[in-house]
Structure 1
Amino acid sequence: MSVRRLIAAAIIPLALLATACGGGEPAAAPTSSEDPEKFEDASLVIYSGRNENLVGPLIDKLKTATGLDVQVRYGDSAELAAQILEEGERTRADLFFSQDAGALGALSKAGVLAPLPQPLLDRVPEKYRSADGTWIGVSGRARVIVYDPRTVQDPPKSVFDLTDPKYKDKVGWAPTNASFQSFVTALRLVSGEDKARKWLEDMKANGTQTFSNNGNILNAVDEGKVSAGLINHYYWYEKVAEKGEAGVPSKLSFPAEGDPGALVNVAGVSVLKASKHGAAAQKAAEFMLGTEAQKYFADETKEYPLVEGVATAPGLPALDSIKGPDLDLSKLDSLEQTLTLLKEVGLV
């Protein structure tokens, strides 16, 4: 996955440059494995950086609620953003459903997103939407430290605590994971390049164990293979919903106010300027911020709903109680620099 994301990260800046300069070769046709005629005939085409298993049922609800003939291309958010930039005016995408604010920020910077109506933007707090009104968050996820209370009596309150020698060989991370890379981007922006590099190097020197994804880190903590790990909050809550809290030995520590490890990132949507079905795309965006979809995020994926009045999953701390770093989420678009740093440190 790291190689594919490196390619996408390289394509996005090049596409941004081409967009800024104008001209260039005609955009290539999409290389989707989907039947092209499905996209041609659809009344709404969504490029989704969110996993089909996760949001497929929500897309079905969208079809039912709106009556639209919806077709979806699934893929990695950064790669789909790069594809949209390559396709330019010829893109089939009407709505981009991104796993990450960074990919949305890249498209906003490129000027390929249409402004969303203010009443829609006003449904979520300002920090969870773009300043220029071209994308909006639909669900939130908090970075947390999962730990084993059987071996950790004083839970870490900062990612910087994890470089302590007492955690040598006892922490898990997933450097090729998109959420981890977004966190490192936030770390770079909030703490500076030098401090981010030193943290990565110190963690590596402290024997931090590498896993492929958040779920494997959580399982390793529960099985006593490591004492702590860096994950998104909802993996723990999903597992508890499945097995019961008695069946999940680990606990969560929400990092202290301002800590880069307390990042709240969003999945979000945007309407493409080149959309052939702009009204349908806006209707889909409105659905994502409606009660049915917001309850889906809360109840099914255990993410934070961003619209006031929709309850979070039981046991989650209130979203406004998580005091993450002061950061414009659009600036998470600097994935290329993050991947360069991770490569230099030897993590991808």
Structure 2
Amino acid sequence: MHAGFGRAEDGAREAASPSITVYSGRARQLVAPVFESFERETGIRVRVRYGGTAELAALLLEEGDRTPADLFFAQDAGALAAVERAGRFRPLPESLRRTVEPRFVSRASETGGGWVGVTGRARTIVYNTDLVDPAALPQTLEEVLGGEWTGKVGYPPTNASFQAMVSAMRARDGDEKTMQWLRALRASGAKTYANNTETVRAVASGEVAIGLVNHYYALRMLTESPRLPIANHYMGGDDVGSLVNVAGAGVMRRRGGTDATHEASERLIAFMLSEQAQSYFATETFEFPLIAGVEPPAGAPTLERVGAGTIDLGALSDLEGTLRLMSRAGVLP
């Protein structure tokens, strides 16, 4: 039993309840408690295929309407947008779309199939509090390049969240300017790491002074080791460095789908957007809740203070183009 989830009352299960299949790009240890609680409360059985978000998105596109998946729960909006662009999502009811702010909902969801965000994942600069004066921290990604930060920046170029940020930069500034930024980052002596966790560890050890990561890695580490000399810096405004991506979900168009499985899938999304589940995500995975009335993770500001609200998350779908650009810039191994 996990914090925030209780047992359903006796009789909650319905003998004739449908079962649904979820393709989940979220890790089992993070989201299985949510699915299990939904099963207890509704009697709807949830079968889950876990895998990487990009891998599952590609599988859904290959399977087309023959997919067994009723719902896709993805780690980032880029994958959701790619599946949406292929016409694989069913339209979502207005009641679900209006649960969260418009910036966290597919812009195509009113006229066609779409997706809705479930939790927020903010870009941030993690910094070593023993080495860096907070007043001197960069306020934009441009300020990270060179100068006093030469050789003091860490980042994980193969990580999906960093690549999503580059995709957002491409959508906002174009490929040429994004290429210039990537090349300048490399030329500044920035150090690369395998993932966000290794980047934050390098900041904590003083190997680098700042790191470009998602917000929840430092929060998790501080929960386990409160004396670590690290903190998050949120740049705010509309800079791409303060992008808030989402983990989100959409209901699949498929041959074997029925009214019952469609409704059950929508009920699962509604459950993930309930106060109960949103509180779980905030306290257990340290992600931002997207519904009103639920507190952000401990140690994090409200989403309103994080910024980057004008970026269309649906524009993050061209991962292949982003990887080609990063390879040309020399930042991928």
Using the size of structure 2 for normalisation, the TM-score is 0.89
Residues 325, 198 of structure 1: alpha-carbon distance in 2 compared, 3 angstrom cutoff: farther
1:170–1:208: 8 Å Cα contact kept in structure 2?
Answer: yes
1:305 alignment partner AA: P
Corresponding residue of 2:169: 187
CA distance in 2, matches of 1:183, 1:140: 14
Task: Name the Cα RMSD after superposition.
Answer: 1.5
Corresponding residue of 1:14: none
Shift of 1:166: 2.2
1:116–1:135: 8 Å Cα contact kept in structure 2?
Answer: yes
CA distance in 2, matches of 1:250, 1:226: 11
After TM superposition, the structure 1 = structure 2 runs for residues 134-153 of structure 1, keeping only pairs within 5 Å, are: 134-153=114-133
Residues 269, 313 of structure 1: alpha-carbon distance in 2 compared, 3 angstrom cutoff: same
1:75 and 2:51 equivalent?
yes
1:241 and 2:217 equivalent?
no
Shift of 1:258: 1.2
Unaligned runs of 5+ in 2: 1-17
Q: 1:267 aligns with which of 247, 255, 261?
A: 247
Corresponding residue of 2:295: 311
CA distance in 1, matches of 2:116, 2:324: 28
Q: 2:200 aligns with which of 211, 218, 224?
A: 218
The alignment partner of 1:86 has SS state of helix
The alignment partner of 1:131 has SS state of coil
1:117 and 2:77 equivalent?
no
1:91 and 2:67 equivalent?
yes
Shift of 1:261: 0.3
2:102 alignment partner AA: E
Which ranges of 4 or more aligned residues in structure 1 deviate by more than 3 Å? none
1:160 and 2:136 equivalent?
no
Using the size of structure 1 for normalisation, the TM-score is 0.85
Total equivalences in the alignment: 306
Deviations 1:148-206 (A, max 9, x none): 13222211222211112322221111111000000000111112211110111011111
CA distance in 1, matches of 2:201, 2:36: 31
2:169–2:240: 8 Å Cα contact kept in structure 1?
Answer: yes
CA distance in 1, matches of 2:271, 2:250: 13
2:236–2:305: 8 Å Cα contact kept in structure 1?
Answer: no
1:336 alignment partner AA: E
The alignment partner of 2:285 has SS state of coil
1:51 and 2:27 equivalent?
yes
Corresponding residue of 2:13: none
Corresponding residue of 2:308: 324
1:253 and 2:233 equivalent?
yes
CA distance in 1, matches of 2:206, 2:271: 42
CA distance in 1, matches of 2:164, 2:43: 35
Moved more, 177-186 or 50-59: 50-59
Residues 310, 325 of structure 1: alpha-carbon distance in 2 compared, 3 angstrom cutoff: closer
